[in-house]
Amino acid sequence: MLAYILRRLLLIIPTLFGIMVLNFVIVQAAPGGPVERLIAELKGTGVEATARVGGSSVGETGGRISSTGESSQYRGAQGLDPELIKEIEKLYGFDKPPWERFWGMISNYVHFDFGDSFYRDQSVVDLVIDKMPVSISLGLWTTILVYLISIPLGIAKAVRDGSRFDVWTSAVVIVGYSIPGFLFAVLLVVLFAGGSFLDWFPLRGLVSENWEDLAWPARIADYFWHITLPVLAMTIGGFAGLTMLTKNSFLEEINKQYVVTAKAKGLDERRVLYGHVFRNAMLIVVAGFPSAFVSILFTGSLLIEVIFSLDGLGLLGFEAAINRDYPVMFGTLYFFTLLGLLLNLAGDLMYVVIDPRIDFESREV
């Protein structure tokens, strides 16, 4: 097992490097950039911030000729001193070729030096730490609730396959599949957060403004009061897939020969289900917990954060992409990709914890 873990850890290095290279190339090819954004702000034309130009003629670029007659690769640079453009490029590191910028970035990232945000007076690490409580709150509680709902429901559907209970719960699952979580969030806001009906829950922030002045029991109650609706919206939008996975896993095990043999020997059905079927059927479900947590934590909460005015990692990443804040974009990509790869390894190791018969040593990575 130790050799397998070592091989997987070594495999993370080229995987992470390839992901960073691919995303760096895509971002370089995409229109817009921090230089264009600052030029647009200087000239008061924010619309220019997302337009990077190719070509060489004035008609194609809409402004490649500066006031001194020298060409510029940036749209909107017309009328600006070329020396100012060079200072802006130096400010953001664009005075160096792309390959040199990439290697410098990777060299810093190896030491977990992610630099400072272009547009916020904070380091990338401080920004992530500042936004982490929101995303961890949403991701952790949503993952726990999804598992607490999906596993018992999936088992019940498998045991009662084809019954009226299975049919009606399947209708609920279909609704969960069909309607995105953010639409449930809007419905919850309308119903319970001061929309057209009730005003039971707050619509902004993770805690109240006077949270630090409250006693600890009141702090805990205030925290859960704030996260109830967003977590509920994400849970409703995420339980359907895991429910069907649990049901199908149990159905597959229930129909196997060893279950038929156990029942033929007179074993109680409950003992067969939870003593024999449960471990085998839950292998794929429980082992997927780390990757499910990462997925919910970093990819499923952007619109929920916007709707409920929660300043988390999803919103941070979205704003960084819109503003071309490259240190935040690449720093968070590197860190969370590395975290995801490590948690995928943890998920594989959970297979062995749940079922010691699995031996990864005998398999090729």
Q: How far apart (Å, rounded) are the C-alpha atoms in residues 26 and 12?
A: 21
Interval 280-336: pLDDT, tens: 777 777 766 766 777 666 655 778 888 888 888 888 888 888 888 888 989 888 888
CATH of region 124-362: 1.10.3720.10
> Which residue blocks in 193-312 are alpha helix, DSSP H?
216-254, 257-264, 269-272, 278-281, 283-287, 289-299, 302-307
Q: How far apart (Å, rounded) are the C-alpha atoms in residues 260 and 268?
A: 12
Per-residue model confidence (pLDDT) at position 300: 58
Q: How far apart (Å, rounded) are the C-alpha atoms in residues 287 and 344?
A: 9
pTM of the model as a whole = 0.73
Give the start-to-end residue ranges of the domains of the chain.
31-94, 124-362
User: pLDDT-derived band of residue 221, with 50, 70 and 90 as boundaries?
Assistant: very high
Q: How far apart (Å, rounded) are the C-alpha atoms in residues 47 and 39?
A: 11
Q: How far is CA 163 from CA 158, 170, 245, 248, 250, in A?
A: 10, 11, 18, 15, 16
Could you tell me which residues are beta bridge partners of residue 123? 116
Q: Which of 68-82, 123-137, 258-272 has the highest mean pLDDT?
A: 123-137
Interval 152-210: pLDDT, tens: 999 899 888 889 999 999 988 888 888 888 888 888 888 888 767 888 888 888 888 88
Q: How far apart (Å, rounded) are the C-alpha atoms in residues 226 and 310?
A: 10
